[in-house]
Amino acid sequence: MFNFPDPTQAQLTEDGQLKHFLDIEGLPESLLLELLDTADSFVDMSEQQVKKVPLLRGKTVANLFFENSTRTLSTFELAAKRLSADVLNLNISTSSTKKGETLKDTLMTLEAMHSDMFVVRHSDSGAAHFIASQVTPNVAIINAGDGRHAHPTQAMLDMMTIRRHKGGFKHLKVAIVGDILHSRVARSQIHALRILGVPEIRLIAPRTLLPRNVEMLGVKVFTNMAQGLRDADVVIMLRLQKERMTSALLPSESEFFKLYGLSEEKLAFAHPEAIVMHPGPINRGVEIASSVADGPKSVILNQVTNGIAVRMAVMSMAMSGQVAERAKKLEAGE
């Protein structure tokens, strides 16, 4: 576990531009909207014959994934390539970290190769903040998920998906269902939904899978699906993170599905136009029925597609913040 410096100070330039992307907490609404608008512009570009822009030409992006990933790693790689960056995917299982090299030495080695951006996934909360505090100021750090703490690009691709399907945020009831306790995604989503002005955020879970005092985040808590889903416009399902459970928090998966799994019957409590989301990977028959995951209200694969545009937006904005900060320091003779 690492410490967290002030997230806003750590990730913004003096002029309020993004220079790292570590956490949603503390970011202004205007910056989140700029990020979503920038991502929308990249969607149009992805529909062109040539899906590349030169915004990161000559820059090197290193993907450092110390924990498994399918969606996040592949969409960051695609996003960096569409921005014309050179991309280095460090294979942690065959890297020198397996020979006892410290994280700091691995970072210094990659800095010596003149990397401009590290995209970091790590099982320890605070890892991305720690790395941002260790590297030279010219390297942008993007948090691709740290422990139970935050997954800010996932939350922003979720916000993009909600906005594209629902037209905005300020009229919505959003229900987040399942293993809230271990979910970095839920934490980042709650911050993003609050900043973007969603009036009603509901969490639905058994008490054993809810963080203590979670109501302080400005959410309504339900332990019953029928009550929590009533009239919801957006239903976000979460995976049971058994790898992070240190004690038995559930009777069984089948009991969990019976009470909290999203079946067509339970989905009928939500608004008739509701959309169903899931950050993935999904566990069919545990938190969601196949007929719902593959059904007409599911936007799960749209989330994956939107991940490319959102990650392009995050990388291009952080890089331009870095360039602006460097120019200001040069002008000041630093």
Q: How many residues bind ligand CP (CB under 6 A)?
A: 9
The structure tokens listed for 273 are 């136009």
Nearer to ligand CP, 184 or 202 (CB): 184
Q: Nearest distance from residue 73's CB to ligand CP, in Å?
A: 6
- Tell which one of 15, 281, 290, 301 touches ligand CP (CB under 6 A): 281
How far is the C-alpha of 152 from the C-alpha of 178, rounded, in Å?
Answer: 19
Nearer to ligand CP, 84 or 123 (CB): 123
Task: Taking each helix axis as running N to C, give the angle between helix 71-82 and helix 300-331, from 0 to 180 degrees, rounded to the nearest 10.
Answer: 50
How far is the C-alpha of 322 from the C-alpha of 169, rounded, in Å?
Answer: 30
- Tell which one of 7, 178, 280, 321 touches ligand CP (CB under 6 A): 280
Q: Nearest distance from residue 148's CB to ligand CP, in Å?
A: 13
Nearer to ligand CP, 68 or 254 (CB): 68
Report whether 231 contacts 173 (CB < 8 A).
yes
| Piece of the chain touching ligand CP by CB under 6 A; list 125-133, 247-255, 278-286, 313-321 | 278-286
**b (16+ CB within 10 A) / e for 98-126:** eeeeebeebbeebbeeebbbbbbbbebbb
Q: Report 129-168 residues binding ligand CP (CB under 6 A).
A: 145, 154
Q: Peptide bond before 281: cis, by omega within 30 degrees of 0?
A: yes
Nearer to ligand CP, 154 or 306 (CB): 154
Q: Nearest distance from residue 318's CB to ligand CP, in Å?
A: 19
Q: Nearest distance from residue 145's CB to ligand CP, in Å?
A: 6
Assess 13 for contact with ligand CP (CB under 6 A): no
Nearer to ligand CP, 150 or 193 (CB): 150
Which DSSP category does 50 fall into?
Answer: S
Q: Nearest distance from residue 190's CB to ligand CP, in Å?
A: 16
Phi, psi angle pair for 319, to nearest 5°: -70, -40
Q: Nearest distance from residue 317's CB to ligand CP, in Å?
A: 20
Task: Please report which helix (H) or strand (E) contains residue 14, including its range.
Answer: none
Task: Taking each helix axis as running N to C, give the angle between helix 152-166 and helix 300-331, from 0 to 180 degrees, rounded to the nearest 10.
Answer: 120
Q: Report 31-90 residues binding ligand CP (CB under 6 A).
A: 69-72
CA distances from 272 to 171, 175, 276, 295, 296 (A): 15, 14, 11, 13, 11
Q: Nearest distance from residue 241's CB to ligand CP, in Å?
A: 11
Nearer to ligand CP, 12 or 192 (CB): 192
Nearer to ligand CP, 18 or 185 (CB): 185
How far is the C-alpha of 152 from the C-alpha of 128, rounded, in Å?
Answer: 11
Assess 224 for contact with ligand CP (CB under 6 A): no
Q: Nearest distance from residue 43's CB to ligand CP, in Å?
A: 19
Phi, psi angle pair for 187, to nearest 5°: -60, -45
Judged by DSSP in three states, 244 sits in helix
Nearer to ligand CP, 173 or 311 (CB): 311
Residues of the shown chain interacting with ligand CP in the complex, contacts defined by CB under 6 A? 69-72, 145, 154, 279-281
